[in-house]
């Protein structure tokens, strides 16, 4: 459903330019949950923004359901890392969730119904009338997830979605993501810098190199379902995969832990 071929992008030009993507090839099948990991600053977000149509890549092609991405595709929703700046503080939680549904041409009662259903799925059915800033960080991110779910996208993009919450909330949100994808026929592309997380939630883990990013690893995660925070993480397969992903993220040389433009 998603075909990315030889995607490149450079920010700026001249000596101050930053070569973020160095030819990324990736294809994602319908219904997959693909995690993308890589060292920080390697261009993961650039990749996601290209898929979302928020950024025009310098070169290469992104095909979404066979059609090249120009502008934001209709069947796509995004969950950003910074929930407090991605939710609108002047709207109630329910209004935040139902706002994108206007694009689908739903009338008001049906928008409200869909918003309530999505909020129920993330366990926030009571919070519709509240404002985002009246909720904790984890709850705000659940609202952002509900907003994406209500939209019923074919492809859900998540950009470091659990990067700004505490460890306990993070685990809850990971399980929430696994639970809701069971209810919807969605393909999910989740970006993270957390190796454990990528192995825990993903069907597939794609490892990017430091900038300019290329795909250096593509591993299938064959852990028993359903995943469970304690049991899955002590499964021998989990331990083996996270070591493998860890080595790929670090790169072939031990010194390449903090890759600089000169070393690549």
Residues that bind another protein (CB under 8 A): 52-54, 72, 74, 76-78, 80, 82, 84-86, 88-91, 99-100, 102-103, 131, 133-134, 147, 151
Minimum Å gap between C-beta 76 and another protein is 8
Minimum Å gap between C-beta 173 and another protein is 18
102 versus 108: smaller Cβ distance to another protein:
102
24 versus 87: smaller Cβ distance to another protein:
87
Beta bridge partners, 76, equal: 155
Minimum Å gap between C-beta 11 and another protein is 15
Buried-exposed string 147-182: b where 16+ CB fall within 10 A, e elsewhere: bbbbbbbbbbbbbbbbbbbeeebbbbbbbbbbebbe
6 versus 11: smaller Cβ distance to another protein:
11
Give the span between the Cα atoms of 89 and 127, in whole angstroms. Answer: 14
Minimum Å gap between C-beta 101 and another protein is 9
22 versus 73: smaller Cβ distance to another protein:
73
Backbone angles phi, psi at 68, to 5 degrees: -65, 145
Give the span between the Cα atoms of 140 and 51, in whole angstroms. Answer: 24
Minimum Å gap between C-beta 78 and another protein is 4
The token pair at 206 is 């794609």
- The beta strands (E) that lie in 137-224 are given as 155-159, 187-191, 204-208, 215-220
88 versus 108: smaller Cβ distance to another protein:
88
């Amino acid at each position: 459903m998603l075909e990315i071929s030889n995607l490149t992008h450079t920010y700026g030009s001249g000596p101050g330019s930053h070569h973020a993507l160095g030819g990324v090839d990736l294809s994602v099948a319908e219904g997959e949950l693909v995690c993308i990991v890589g060292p920080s600053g390697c261009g993961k977000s650039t990749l996601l923004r290209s898929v979302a149509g928020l950024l025009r890549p310098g070169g290469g092609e992104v095909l979404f359901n066979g059609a090249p991405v120009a502008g934001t595709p209709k069947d796509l929703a995004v969950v950003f890392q910074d929930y407090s700046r991605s939710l609108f503080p002047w709207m109630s939680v329910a209004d935040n969730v139902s706002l994108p549904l206007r694009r689908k041409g739903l009338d008001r009662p049906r928008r409200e119904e869909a918003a309530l259903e999505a909020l129920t799925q993330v366990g926030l059915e009571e919070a519709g009338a509240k404002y985002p800033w009246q909720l904790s960080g984890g709850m705000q991110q659940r609202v952002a997830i509900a907003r994406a779910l209500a939209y019923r996208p074919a492809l859900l993009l998540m950009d470091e979605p659990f990067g700004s919450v505490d460890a306990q909330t993070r685990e809850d949100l990971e399980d929430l993501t696994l639970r809701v994808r069971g209810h919807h026929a969605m393909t999910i592309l989740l970006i993270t810098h957390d190796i454990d997380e990528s192995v825990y939630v993903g069907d597939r883990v794609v490892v990017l190199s430091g900038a300019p990013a290329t795909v250096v690893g593509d591993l299938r995660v064959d852990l028993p379902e359903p995943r469970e925070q304690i049991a899955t993480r002590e499964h021998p397969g989990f331990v083996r995969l996270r070591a493998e992903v860890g080595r790929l993220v670090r790169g072939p040389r031990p010194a390449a832990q903090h890759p600089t433009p000169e070393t690549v």
